[in-house]
A = this chain, B = another copy of it.
Amino acid sequence: MNELQKRIVAEGKVLPGDIIKIDGFMNHRVDVALMRSIAKDIRAHFADKEITAIMTVEASGIPVATITADEFGVPLIFAKKAKSDNIEGGLVKSEIFSYTYRKKVTLIVSAEWLKPTDKVLIVDDFMANGEAIRGLVEIIDQVGAELVGIGIAVEKGFQGGGDRLRAKGIDVYSLAIVEKAEPGNIVFRE
């Protein structure tokens, strides 16, 4: 097991609804040293690729994506979740279904800040059904930028989002792919 997997086993809690609660080090009180270790792993996996920007969605993916951008020495772009009164020009949008909030959410990125020349690595803390990531991929496609790959800390393998993206030929690299999550029994994909 790698460092992240050990922390999930030691400190994670499995809650009803297949929720893996790791907010003590991943997405509420954030262990930035662990984010650095995750970023180095992602960097190593994509070492031979040219990358000009890291991209994520607000909010909980931002810490790991920021440290990954620091590790690559490139800017971070984070997509925003549209507020209802947000009417502004020059925006690229994608509508996704948020399983967390059980409603449709529109992801937006300013066309001014994601350029057709960008070679983008998507980074996020979690991937389950992969809706947020699908939205980011759609935005990158709309702009005409290049998707280099996807780096994820924790993938819920049993929900299929990562494998659907892999089936399309996208390089999805996850540090911890959880295949089974029950209280006291978290199993990772080999």
Give A residues with C-beta under 8 Å from B. 23-25, 28-33, 35-36, 53, 58-60, 62-63, 66-67, 69-70, 73-78, 80, 83, 85, 101, 109-110, 112-114
A23 and B110 in contact, given A30-B78, A75-B29, A75-B30 (Cβ under 8 angstroms): yes
Cross-chain contact B63 with A76 (CB below 8 angstroms): yes
Q: List 12 A-B contacts (CB under 8 A).
A: A23-B110, A28-B110, A28-B113, A29-B110, A29-B113, A32-B73, A36-B70, A59-B80, A62-B62, A62-B66, A63-B66, A63-B78
Least CB separation from A34: chain B residue: B75
Residues on B with C-beta less than 8 A from A80 are 28, 59
